[in-house]
Amino acid sequence: MKKSIVTIFILLVVSNVLFAQQKYFTRSGTISFFSKTPVENIEAVNHQTSCILDTQTGEVAVSAQMKGFEFEKALMQEHFNENYVESHKFPKATFKGEVVGFSSLTFSDETPNTVEVKGMLSIHGVDKQIKTSGTVSKVKDNYMAQAKFNVSPDDFDIKIPKAVINNISKEIEVSINLQLEPYAQ
Amino acid sequence: MHNKLITLISSFVLLLFVSQAYAQDDLLNLLEQETQNKQSTEFVYATFKATRIINSQSVETTAGGNLNFIIAHRFGKINDGWYELWGLDNATIRLGLEYGITDWLNIGIGRSSYLKTADIYGKLRIIRQSSGAKNFPFSAVLFSNVAENGMHWSEPDRVNYFSSRLSYASQLLLARKFSNAFSLQLSPTYIHRNFVETKEDQNDVLAIGAGGRIKLSNRVSINAEYFYQLPGTNSEKFYNSVALGIDIETGGHVFQFHVTNSKGMIEQYFIAGTTGDMFDGDIFFGFNINRVFTLKKAK
């Protein structure tokens, strides 16, 4: 009996080591996007982006409420939600993918590592594989992550009426900035 | 032997159970759970496309730091026929400016060619429809105006007071966005006129308005409104105001085209002073153009 208890205990410890995944999390990350045309520049920021990173597998997931994007002009914000991304139908933008080779990275002195990130970006109900490069550094217990990539409204089935076709860029630059803290289960 | 087997199996089951507890294979689901734990309040936006449903005020306000320039026309009666080009030869106009001091407080001024009237008003949002952490089923807005009739005195020989030119309208606007496509508003209204033409006319008029919209697409909606004057509060020569229209939104503009039996474009005139009998063909074609200028940008 004693033996079996010990066995169970050892097994538990082993399984803990095997399966305890180290995760980092934030719900206050920043995503901004920028559309530049000769007619006008459009910029929006979302400060309530949530992200979770599994440092063992390099897997990462990002989620942002479309209504959380703030614009300079109130009317733009209303039209963004109502007419373009249709937030009532598709309330969130998500990304699910991986930081390639995360486990083999070494972190020292807050030096940023350049990494490749790839995965599925989902906006306006449309999924698209994307690949981009970013940086990750470790500051004390937190991971700081940044990435930049371009998206096209057309790829996500976001229709732009002819009247404003010159006001909205075909390539919109998206920047993401995260400070990930250890995730308490 | 038997004992050992049980130990082995139970250990295995335990191992499986523990591993299950740790392996949250889908990170997105985990994120979903995390964000649901901390629910925020979501305020309803765009109950209507413009600050007017058609003639009347909607619960929408001009956003803080924005200036809304509203050009409104009502043409002549459609039943005037060919000679007046079905009313297009005769237009009355109202030019209006509306400023958002904040998102919840607006002030506005306007000038109507009809009865050469100037008006000034304020609009105060009391509560917004919301869901999530804080749930509230409708939006409520207070509206109040003063209008000054600038026509020459009909009897200049009489002693006329400036105060006789003034009239007031106050409304409580209650609206709910039932779905993305459908919104409905109720507008209890109190109108006071300092001076009325005849004994039969009353100084105070009570009315209740109902208005709504159905969206045909993201940028186009059909709107309708009706104001019912409570019996005995107004002279019977005035009809209830009816209007049917279409809103078209293009970037910075909202175009509103409509037909109505009211010629006036301020509350005291269309709610309590509509002379057009719709069933007699007294229908006016008209439009409002809303153009918003961002004077102060949000930080």
Report how many Cβ contacts below 8 Å link chain A to chain B.
106
Instruction: Domain ranges for chain B, please list them.
Output: 41-294
Does the distance separating the beta carbons of A59 and B15 come in below 8 Å? no
Note the pTM of the prediction, 2 decimals. 0.84
Alpha helices (H) in chain A, listed in sequence order: 2-19, 74-79
Nearest residue to B38 via CA among A68, A89, A152, A135: A68
Q: Which of A20, A25, A61 sits opposite B28 (nearest CB)?
A: A61
Mutation choice for B interface testing from A3, A81, A82 by most B CBs within 10 A = A82
Q: Closest-CA residue in chain B for A184?
A: B34
Q: Closest-CA residue in chain B for A91?
A: B42
Residues B107/B119, Cβ–Cβ less than 8 Å: no
Class of domain B41-294 as given by CATH: mainly beta
The predicted pLDDT at position A44 comes to 97
Compute, in degrees rounded to 10, the torsion defined by CA atoms B69, B74, B75, B77.
180
Nearest residue to B265 via CA among B47, B48, B52: B52
End-to-end CA distance of chain B: 75
Mutation choice for B interface testing from A11, A14, A73 by most B CBs within 10 A = A73
Give the sign of the dihedral formed by CA A157, CA A161, CA A162, CA A168: negative
Q: Closest-CA residue in chain A for B8?
A: A4
Return the CATH fold of A22-182.
Answer: Lipocalin (2.40.128)
Mutation choice for A interface testing from B7, B10, B22, B27 by most A CBs within 10 A = B27
Q: Closest-CA residue in chain A for B28?
A: A61
Give me B199's structure tokens.
Answer: 């004994």
Distance CA B88, CA B231 (A): 34
pLDDT per residue rounded down to tens, chain B (299 residues): 567 777 667 666 666 655 555 545 588 888 888 877 767 888 999 999 999 999 999 999 999 999 999 999 999 998 888 998 988 899 999 999 999 999 999 999 999 999 999 999 999 999 999 998 899 999 999 999 999 999 999 889 999 999 999 999 999 999 999 999 999 999 999 999 999 988 878 899 999 999 999 999 999 999 999 999 999 888 889 999 999 999 999 878 999 999 999 999 999 999 999 999 989 989 999 999 999 999 988 76
Task: Give chain A's residues under pLDDT 70.
Answer: 1, 7-21, 185
The predicted pLDDT at position A185 comes to 67
Distance CA B137, CA B139 (A): 7
Give the sign of the dihedral formed by CA A73, CA A79, CA A81, CA A82: positive
Does the distance separating the beta carbons of A82 and B14 come in below 8 Å? no
Q: What is the DSSP letter of B252?
A: T
Residues A137/A106, Cβ–Cβ less than 8 Å: no
